[in-house]
A and B are shown apart, each in its own frame.
Chain A
Amino acid sequence: MEGIRQTQKKYGSAALSFAIITGFIFYLVGLVPICKGLILGTLFSILNFVLMGETLPMRIDRSKRSVFVIALGSIFFRYLLMAIPIVMAIRYEQYDLFAVIIGIFMVQLMLLADHLLKFFKDRIKYKN
Chain B
Amino acid sequence: MEFYLQDWVPMASYIGAGLAMGFGAIGSAVGEGYTASEATVAISRNPKISDDILKMMLMGQAVAESASIFGLVIAMMLLFSKFPHQTWITVSVLLASGISMGLGAIGSGIGSGITAGSACKGLARQPGFKDSIQMNMLVGSSVAQTPAIFSLVTSLILIFSDFSSHPVSPTWAAILGAGFAAGFGAVGSGLGDGLVAGAACEGAARQPLAAKTTLSTMFLGMAVTETTAIYGLLVSFILIFREVPATDALAPAMALLAAGLCMGIGAIGPGIGEGFTARSAVTWIARNENHTADITRVMLVGQAVSESTGIYSLVIALVLIFVV
Q: Which residues of A contact B (CB under 8 A)?
A: 1-4, 7-8, 49, 52-53, 56, 59-62, 64, 67-68, 70-72, 74-76, 79, 82-83, 86-87, 90-91, 97, 101, 104-105, 107-108, 111-112, 115-116, 118-119
Q: How far is the CA of A52 from the CA of B40 in the complex (A)?
A: 17
B21 touches A79 (CB 8 A): yes
CB-nearest residue of chain A to B26 = A72
Q: How far is the CA of A91 from the CA of B77 in the complex (A)?
A: 10
Most chain B CB within a 10 A radius of its CB, from A4, A70, A75, A111:
A75
Known: A67-B36, A75-B68. A4 touches B138 (CB 8 A): no
B193 to nearest A CB, angstroms? 15
**Does chain A have a CB within 8 A of B142?**
yes
Q: How far is the CA of A49 from the CA of B65 in the complex (A)?
A: 10
CB-nearest residue of chain A to B61 = A52
A49 partner residues in chain B, CB cutoff 8 A: 62
B73 touches A86 (CB 8 A): yes
B66 touches A76 (CB 8 A): no
A115 partner residues in chain B, CB cutoff 8 A: 131, 134-135, 138-139
Known: A60-B40, A60-B43, A62-B40. A104 touches B73 (CB 8 A): yes
B77 touches A111 (CB 8 A): no
B32 touches A71 (CB 8 A): yes
B33 partner residues in chain A, CB cutoff 8 A: 59, 64, 67-68, 70-72
Q: How far is the CA of A116 from the CA of B215 in the complex (A)?
A: 13
B 207-246 binary contact with A (CB < 8 Å = 1; else 0): 0000000000000000000000000000000000000000
The secondary-structure label for the interface of chain B is helix
A90 touches B29 (CB 8 A): no
Q: Which residues of B contact A (CB under 8 A)?
A: 21, 25, 28-30, 32-34, 36-37, 39-40, 43, 51-52, 54-55, 57-59, 61-63, 65-66, 68-69, 72-73, 76-77, 80-81, 131, 134-135, 138-139, 142
A105 touches B25 (CB 8 A): no
B156 to nearest A CB, angstroms? 9
* 5 A-B pairs with the lowest CB-CB distances in the bound complex, closest first: A3-B51, A68-B33, A86-B76, A72-B29, A90-B80
A111 touches B55 (CB 8 A): no
Among A79, A90, A112, point to the contact of B77 (Cβ < 8 A): A90
B142 partner residues in chain A, CB cutoff 8 A: 108, 112
CB-nearest residue of chain B to A73 = B29
Query: What are 28 A-B pairs at a CB distance below 8 A?
Result: A3-B55, A4-B51, A7-B59, A52-B61, A52-B65, A60-B43, A60-B54, A62-B40, A67-B37, A70-B33, A71-B29, A71-B33, A72-B25, A72-B29, A72-B33, A74-B32, A75-B32, A76-B25, A87-B76, A90-B81, A104-B73, A108-B63, A111-B59, A111-B138, A112-B139, A116-B139, A118-B135, A119-B135
B59 partner residues in chain A, CB cutoff 8 A: 7, 111
A2 touches B63 (CB 8 A): no
CB-nearest residue of chain A to B51 = A3
Among B34, B39, B138, point to the contact of A60 (Cβ < 8 A): B39
Q: How far is the CA of A111 from the CA of B141 in the complex (A)?
A: 12
Q: How far is the CA of A68 from the CA of B31 in the complex (A)?
A: 9
Q: How far is the CA of A87 from the CA of B79 in the complex (A)?
A: 9
Among B36, B43, B52, point to the contact of A3 (Cβ < 8 A): B52
